[in-house]
Structure 1
Amino acid sequence: MSFSTSIGRFREGNPAPLYVQLQQLIRDAINRNVLAKDDALPAERDLAIEYDVSRITVRKAIGGLVEEGLLTRRRGAGTFVATRVEKSFSKLSSFSEDMQSRGRTPSSAWVSRTIGMVTPEESLSLGLSPGSAVYRFQRIRYADDTPMALEYSTIAGYCLPTIDAVQDSLYEALEAAGNRPVRALQRLRAVHFSPEHAKMLGVDAGHAGLFIERRGFLRDGRAAEFTQSYYRGDAYDLVAELNDI
């Protein structure tokens, strides 16, 4: 069955621009589950031939749906229906726990891990004295082999026995050391990815993303974690429960 047979063709007499019509066909197919999460779309050239439009029209239609978060581009693989993840802002959990709870397989690619002395910014965030030791972990976080986030974590030196204690999950390592955070303060803002960040996440430079800064605290009130994360905007929904209590 052809792609146009599955999702439909342009309606005769529709005055809307062709790229808008193509967007609506794909959007409706996603909403009706005709196109399921992680389904691959045909190549731009094939869509242009099938709908008798230019590749520029197809590229504009696809680009708009990527910005909406309905589609995602994977470098070297093509365009897919986005698989979005809901991240709760009211529960303190790790990336690995978030993915596993949704049936996804988390993994990491290490950018670097180092031991050093605390910087002025880290000292302020972690409440550490100048000269204090810290561990720094920089990773690309994946779900089912899809890059989802960049994570830059600084951990107070007293929280881990060695730098090699962290393998897959940072929070598992902290828990094993008896120093898992029990509460956190988080700050969120929208960003556009720099060329460097975009390359690591497999998206275009300027792609919309979410920047989350977290400070995690131990039960005794000491700060343990200072993490800055860059999440793909086309892959995440942030959810918070509110009440008037």
Structure 2
Amino acid sequence: MNIQEFLTPESWFRRNAGPRYVQLRNRLAEAVAQGILAPGSPLPPEREIASITDFSRVTVRKAFEDLVGEGMIVQKQGSGSFVSTSPARVEQKLSRLTSFSEDMARRGKTSSVRWLERGLFMPSPDETLALGLSPEDSVSRIVRLRLADGKPMAIERASMPVDILPNPLEVETSLYEVLERHGTRPVRAIQKISAVNLKGRDAELLEVEPGQAGLRIERTSYLEGGRTAEFTQSLYRGDAYNFVAELRLAKD
């Protein structure tokens, strides 16, 4: 199916299903997700989409603006609009303690995982310190590449005391779903975010050029009683994530 056929409104537009520009934005996003619009390919001009859909140019422009804001398409002066070759940016609020799977589900994306390491290991010095372990203790560790709609987003290395996660092989998609079942899901966390340049194997896994900007996040999570439950070190593609914090004026 070509893009003109895909955008014919009889098969997808519903008069009572929300604003026209939102429905058009969603249809264009589906075209990208299904490969009808491939990465780097041009989108039809606004006037052509307006003619196909019988929508106004203003409606088409608003749909394009949404997709540009999300990083799904890029606009080049004098050349038109093109599907981005990078994943659309995900906006992640720092005020909520959620899992990657939950974040992607809320955005209508399909999360998947490529396992890099999973099992019981001797703890590293960082894990020993962060989790309050003794040198002879074992640590439950899972290392995985996180993907959204098949595109690599982050490399995540999560470590927990063995009594928090006795069997790392139990984790198939969402770690927090497993911890929820065991009654050991963290309720609060402290995160540290720093900028890095992605190199070597990390850049290869994230499918970026070596030296490209990334985000390094260390998170220490706690149970209700204050015990440390999880220590996670993650590397995120710098072109795929925006982390957002709400700030309020402090009162004296």
Task: Give the TM-score normalised by the residue count of structure 2.
Answer: 0.68
Q: How far, CA to CA, are the matches of 1:32 and 1:203 in structure 2?
A: 25
SS at structure 1 position matched to 2:163: helix
The change in CA–CA distance for 1:4 and 1:223 in structure 2 (over 3 A counts) is closer
SS at structure 2 position matched to 1:197: helix
What is the 5 A alignment of 1:8-19? none
Q: How far, CA to CA, are the matches of 1:186 and 1:136 in structure 2?
A: 19
Question: Which residue number corresponds to residue 11 of structure 1?
Answer: none
The change in CA–CA distance for 1:123 and 1:4 in structure 2 (over 3 A counts) is closer
Residue by residue over 1:41-93, the C-alpha shift from the partner in whole angstroms, topping out at 9 and shown as x without a partner, is 9xxxxx9xx97xxxxxxxxxx9xxxxxxx9444xxxxxxxx411111111111
Aligned-pair CA distance for 1:169: 0.5
The change in CA–CA distance for 1:154 and 1:34 in structure 2 (over 3 A counts) is closer
SS at structure 2 position matched to 1:125: helix
Q: How far, CA to CA, are the matches of 1:125 and 1:34 in structure 2?
A: 40
Aligned length in residues: 194
Contact 1:141 1:149 in 2 (8 A): yes
1:6 partner amino acid: P
Q: How far, CA to CA, are the matches of 2:210 and 2:68 in structure 1?
A: 30
SS at structure 2 position matched to 1:110: strand
Q: Which has the higher contact order (CA 8 A, sep 6+)?
A: 1
Aligned-pair CA distance for 1:37: 5.5
Contact 2:71 2:84 in 1 (8 A): no
Question: Which residue number corresponds to residue 20 of structure 1?
Answer: none
1:108 partner amino acid: V
What is the 5 A alignment of 1:36-185? 38=72, 71-73=84-86, 82-185=87-190
Contact 1:6 1:34 in 2 (8 A): no
Task: Give the TM-score normalised by the residue count of structure 1.
Answer: 0.70
- Extract unaligned runs of 5+ from structure 1: 8-28, 42-46, 52-61, 63-69, 74-81
Counting aligned pairs with the same residue, the percent is: 45
The change in CA–CA distance for 1:36 and 1:231 in structure 2 (over 3 A counts) is closer
Q: How far, CA to CA, are the matches of 1:101 and 1:4 in structure 2?
A: 27
